[in-house]
Amino acid sequence: MRNFRDHLISSGSSIKEALIKLDFLAQDAILFVVNKENKLLGSLTDGDVRRALIKGVTINKIVDGIIQLHPKFIKKGDQDIKKIIEYRKGNFRILPVVDSELKVVNVINFRVMRSYLPIDAIIMAGGRGQRLQPLTDTVPKPLLKVGSKAIMEYNVDRLALYGIDDFWFSVKYLGEQVENYFGDGKDKNIDINYVWEDEPLGTIGAVSKIDNLQHEYVLVMNSDILTNVDYEQLFLDFIEKEADFSVLTIPYEVNIPYAVLETKDGAIESFKEKPMYTYYSNGGIYIMKKSILKHIPKEVFFNATDLIDKLITEKLKVVSYPLVGYWLDIGKHEDFKKAQDDIKQIRF
């Protein structure tokens, strides 16, 4: 993925400098002009330069005189995902993302990205991975390679594909390796923060240690999942259902090879010939309102299933999003082998 800073040019730069940068950007040729504080001033395309040259402006002049002064932009933390979809459908392909002071903090390119979701992503990556020993004796499970990439990197890259750029990694066992592998995330145009568990805190307990989330919505997931879920559809389903908490669920069909009788007091009331039942399993990926995090006790071992039980008891709206796509929990050696085979066939 291109570094978003390639799209930025400083106020006072020459048109010649702009042409060099536009040529480098090729099919993504658009620049956003910023001042010394990185505040957005305008945009510049090949077309703007051509029109200026036709009017007799020389390439040694500064760009400020030929820029478009009111470019479209996305406000960091804007909760209206439908506006993002409208931009995308309206063929606004490359858009700057600005903070509350109009400083450019990212550039979204819908040629290589699918959305820009207003979500903080928390990836739980602190587990020991005992069932995958001896592979995990010296390498943490999230960093085991499936094909050419670490398991966890598939998840990070897919979340970034949907425009999620604020990440939190919960780490413990061999966490230094995870930190060294991903760094601060700048090479992927994302920000990564690390949350260290002093003691094991379960599958969601470490989330209670985070107090500076950037968005009103939070996604929490296990690091050892391989999936091609459409995160925009997951989020839209969450919004449309006006949910407090959503669980990605994996449908499992069970075929009964015999007639199933329904009885009452020994009497047969009905029967179904070789019925098929569909059950839904927890997929280890959750979206929630940020306000839900107050239900997670601090510094206590606490699983996601404990949180779900608590929310249901308190009559909050917990919904299911049945997955249509690929999903694999890489917990055992046979799962790891299956992942190596599947990665050659599944599109991520």
Query: pLDDT by residue (tens digit) across 14-49?
Result: 999 999 999 999 999 999 999 999 999 999 999 999
Query: pLDDT by residue (tens digit) across 264-279?
Result: 888 888 888 888 888 8
Structure tokens at 117: 């979701």
Q: Which residues of 107-138 are buried (b: 16+ CB within 10 A; e: fewer)?
A: bbbbeebebbbbbbbbbbbbbebeebeeebee
All structural domains of the chain: 4-109 (3.10.580.10), 119-342 (3.90.550.10)
Query: pLDDT by residue (tens digit) across 212-228?
Result: 999 999 999 999 999 99
What is the DSSP pairing of strand 94-98 with strand 30-34? unpaired
Q: Which of 220, 49, 213 has its CA nearest to residue 123? A: 220
Question: Assign residue 201 a region: left if phi > 0, alpha if psi is -120 to 50, beta otherwise?
Answer: alpha
pLDDT at 141: 96
CB neighbours of residue 247 within 10 Å: 22
- Residue whose pair of structure tokens reads 């001033």 in the numeric block: 41
pTM: 0.89
pLDDT at 253: 83
The band of 172, judged by pLDDT with boundaries at 50, 70 and 90, is very high
Lowest mean pLDDT among 79-93, 123-137, 172-186: 79-93
Q: Is the pLDDT score of 106 beyond 90?
A: yes
**What gap in Å lies between CA 317 and CA 289, rounded to an integer?**
11
Q: Is the pLDDT score of 1 beyond 70?
A: no
Structure tokens at 138: 């010296």
